[in-house]
Amino acid sequence: MEKASKRLTWLGHNCFLFEYNGCKFLVDPFLVNGVAPVQAHEIKANYLLVSHGHSDHCASVPEIAANTGATIISVAEVAGFFAKKGLKTESMNIGGAIYLPASKNPEDPKAQIMMVQAPHSSTMPDNSPGGNSVGFILSFSQNGTHLSPANAPIKPMKNTLDDALAFSIYFACDSGYFTEMNWIGQLGIDVAVLPIGDRFTMGPSLSLDAVNAINPQYVVPCHYNTWEPIAQSVDKWSDAVQQYTKAIPLVLTPGKTVSEDESGIWRQA
């Protein structure tokens, strides 16, 4: 199986574009004026992953979904909110997974999108209930072995991912530290994207506990320095990651991309 291309671009705050062989997964679409390197009408996406209903994570969803026809993937309450606006949605809940095409070849294994908890609050922009806040683990087979239980033997999740030599990226989104991060770490996370802003999410110190629990190869910080209440020194955080964890920090500025090279090392593009 040909090696897949993987790219991660930070668009500011908690908004990331993850590209897998050209399939575009946009996480928490919110483009901050003066911070985001692009405007909503310039975005291309296949899927929009929305972690919860706060405006700073979904304000750009309607325009991007309408422009691109992208499918919105979120917890039931958030998906229902956007479905009422006539947008395409896939509804999920914590502990569940869905399997969606990541290529034009129908024979290729589908991407697995697993929804996990993210201790946080959630209301929609109109103050209606937003259900639970969530995070996402995106996993992709690297050897042609299917991940979906409809196409593969049913085994414990770790075994299923191991059999597929899966690449997994975890978006914690707006979350505090929680002990089940140890279980997430057992799945084999290649890249973890964690908030470090404090006050509304975990801060720099607790993020180190999260890194040690998840044990990813690489960790990317987010949800910091957008506004003064979540201002942090990312250089100090990066130094601490290297001192207290085994992970390699990948620090981006809005608009910058990291990608995996042929040897499996992630570098700034």
The answer as to whether 101 is a domain residue is yes
- Which three-class secondary structure state does DSSP give residue 237? helix
The answer as to whether 268 is a domain residue is no
Note the pLDDT of residue 246.
98
Q: What does the longest C-alpha to C-alpha distance in the chain come to?
A: 50
CA-CA distance, 97 to 137, in Å (whole number)?
Answer: 9
The answer as to whether 85 is a domain residue is yes
The answer as to whether 1 is a domain residue is no
Q: What 8-state DSSP symbol labels residue 224?
A: -
**CATH number of the domain that residue 15 is part of:** 3.60.15.10
The answer as to whether 269 is a domain residue is no
Give bridge partners of residue 97 from the DSSP assignment.
Answer: 114
Rounded to a whole number of angstroms, the CA Rg of the chain reads 17
Per-residue b or e along 192-223, where b marks 16 or more CB atoms closer than 10 Å to that residue's CB: bbbbbbbebbbbbebbbebbbbbbbebbbbbb
Report whether pLDDT(127) > 80.
yes
Q: Which domain holds residue 60?
A: 6-263
Q: What angle do CA 167, 142, 16 make, to 5 degrees?
A: 40
Q: What 8-state DSSP symbol labels residue 183?
A: H
CA atoms within 13 A on the CB side of 240: 18
Burial class of residue 44, CB neighbours in 10 A (0-12, 13-18, 19+): middle
pLDDT averaged over every residue in the chain? 97
Place of tokens 């995070």: 135
Report whether pLDDT(33) > 90.
no
The answer as to whether 233 is a domain residue is yes
**What confidence tens digit (pLDDT) does each residue in 202-250 have?**
999 999 999 999 999 999 999 999 999 999 999 999 999 999 999 999 9
Displacement of CA 249 from its chain's centroid (Å): 16
> Is 178 within 8 Å of 154 (Cβ atoms)?
no
CA–CA distances in Å: residue 106 to residues 68, 81, 102, 161, 209: 21, 30, 9, 20, 40
Instruction: Tell me which amino acid residue 163 is.
Output: D
Q: What 8-state DSSP symbol labels residue 24?
A: E
Tell me what the mean pLDDT of segment 13-23 comes to: 97
**What confidence tens digit (pLDDT) does each residue in 84-102 have?**
999 999 999 999 999 999 9
Angle between helices 234-244 and 204-214 (to 10 degrees): 40
pTM of this structure: 0.98
Number of structural domains (the chain) is 1
Tell me what the mean pLDDT of segment 185-191 comes to: 98
Report whether pLDDT(1) > 80.
no
- Which three-class secondary structure state does DSSP give residue 121? coil
Note the pLDDT of residue 2.
78
How does residue 34 score in pLDDT terms, banded at 50, 70 and 90? confident
DSSP string for 42-107: G---SEEE---S-HHHHTTHHHHHHHH-PEEEEEHHHHHHHHTTT--EEEE-TT-EEEE--SS-TT
- Which three-class secondary structure state does DSSP give residue 168? strand
The answer as to whether 209 is a domain residue is yes
